[in-house]
Structure 1
Amino acid sequence: MTRSLFDLARKMTPEKVSREFRDFSEAHAYTAARRLMDETFADFPDVDHSFVREFQTAGFSARVFELALFAALREQGKELDRTSPAPDFLTTGDTPVAIEATTTNPPQGEKDDDEDITAAVRRLIPDDMEEAQAEFTMQIGKALRRKLEHRDAQGHAYWEKPHVKGTPFVIAVQSFHSPSALIHTTSTLSTYLYGIRDIPSRDAHGSLVLNSQVVTEHRHKHKTIPSGLFAQPEAEHLAAVIFTNSATVSKFARMGTERGYGPKDVAIARAGLEFDPDPNASVPVPFGYVIGEYGPQDHETFSEGFHVLHNPWTRTPLSDGALEGFTQHRLQPDGRLLTTVRRPDYFLSRTWIFQGEDGGNPVQIARLQVQQYLSGPRGVR
């Protein structure tokens, strides 16, 4: 019997599902995303049989992230050990990795469940970026430490479990603690993990110069946490952190549309900021395109948007090639971060979905939206 994420779980009633799940499962515009999700879930190792229930209730965004991570691992040819529910993924073969997935989430009682699925998009840019970055760091730190401190009924940490011992342990994380949480990139996260911030400047010839500044702590409101998690004793068994800000329903919608799963009266456009290969560039460059108006060789992959930040002080590091489909970040002896880019490398993006109404052509509308974005002042994008 074919499993579907959209058949209500056992003893689940329509009144119990989250607004987020209900809006997504009923939206005509997300037809392609739902089909691709079901295709992916058909092979998903739901060992503890809780995935569908959590997907349909309070864990919707977290389960979408987990499903995209699974698809990315499978895309890279990874085989999974499905004998245990924890950690979430254990790859086998020559370069095994144990991966536990987690997310930052809004405080209980503060989620605006009466808002529709596009609320986060409408409020993408926070009013106070500095305060938002401080909150992001605090929330990410809490999520990572929670996993490092976790012990099972036998008192075992994730890396101490019999089926995991000797395997590099990695935490994968995505932020959902506020409607604008997805705007944050690896730059803010790397400062927290390594305790070092890059300060850009220009030399006498106008060339870009990056100097490292040591960061000792992070503050948000009345709370303070130490910086440099990777160098802390509690992180000695943490081989790396996987981070993304793009494993969302929009990714499934774009990729499903590329595969021809979407209805004819729906068009999708994507725009944002991407890595500038110019060695003197200190800011990303804008990009924009209409989904499907390019060849199959340029189709999006699940692995795009995932970043691996390696811990140089870990006891059990990742083997070379373990997660080679993801963008890699490694701290160098001089304190600078070396990034190996898997093209394309988008810092952040926004997805617009257009549905044809009153005779309008959704593709033309999508093209116009991209043109307006690319021609607008950089500060307004």
Structure 2
Amino acid sequence: MGAKVFFAPAKVKRMHQAYSLPAKLDRILREQVDLRRIVGGKRTVIKVHLGEERIFTTVHPVLVRQVVSLVKEAGGQPIVVHSWGAVDAATRGYSAETLGCPVLPMNGTTEKYYYPHPLPTDYPYLKEVYVSGEIQDAEAMVVITHVKGHGNTGMGAALKNVGIGMLAGPSRSWIHQQVAQIPYWNAEACGSKQPCNTCLESCPVEAIHWGGSNKDELHIDFHKCTFCNKCVEVCPANALALNADELYGSFQRAMALAAREVLSTFEPGHVLYLNYLLNITPWCDCHGFSTPSITKDVGVLVSEDPVAIDQASFDLLKDAELFEDMIPEDFQTQFEGSIFQRFLGTAKDPEFQIREAAKLGLGSREYELVNVDDVLQPKEAELVAGH
């Protein structure tokens, strides 16, 4: 039997506060998880994506404040951290007043507060990563993650929050650039000085463009690319060669390696993960705007195992109904696979990152899902006190 993953379903059985999602989380974090062992007496970072600009589908401040309060109750000393989004987070409702603890940019206001970590010498494309200073200097951590789609990983959840979200800006950029490290365009065969543009015209998502200082370098935006391979099929010069495992795999391997470096800065047993499967959107929360949800709300998962919680998140979502009429017209919804692959492309396998993290020993893909509605019912005092 694998790691325990506690599940608080979004569905409310009765119109009473004691059956609400926050009440279910209270019961999990007070009765099922030994929060005092994890955070008691420790400087505890609560890592959460606070969004950018006018986004409004991140984890709600009420739910973040709930975790802050429970960490305090368990004897922890919480601070909420994010990257540059922490600087103006109050404009989206995240502040010391609303959350009940300091809200800090984890790499400092200039993105220069970090610790370099070398990566294994057999990994050819990335030699080191910069782990956030506030993360490495903490003694315990609670990882709050909004689960959603992602253009390079298919799904963005806890592993991405750790392996990308807890690095300084340069490292985040380096890892995103991994998808462009593998050669995919033969300039000599193409004859780019006099391009035919057949590939550009064939791309249904407009992911191909000419770049470089002279606008004579073919670039593919792999965040948008769905790997339909139409460009490869129509190229008269056979100048394109796309390998999904190499391109997207390099990104996800680098992300898993970075996650290992981040987690190596904590003693075992002092990190807790909460995945919020609410307001599930097509792309990550860095884009500064929100779209309608692509499927119904599922609930919240809690675990001490990042691999197990992401596997459980994927398993709960993979066959969910896709609200096709809510998908922006930039996407196509003609692909096979999980809910995310259906519009991002089959090549973007959300389980790739999970497999890589498991190989590195970050956790187990085997898990026991414990539904709080089955094991913890509201106490009489809650029913009397609530509304």
Give your verdict on TM over 0.5. Answer: no
Give the structure-1-normalised TM-score: 0.23
Higher relative CO (Cα under 8 Å, sequence separation at least 6) belongs to: 2
Structure number with the higher helix fraction is: 2
Give the structure-2-normalised TM-score: 0.23
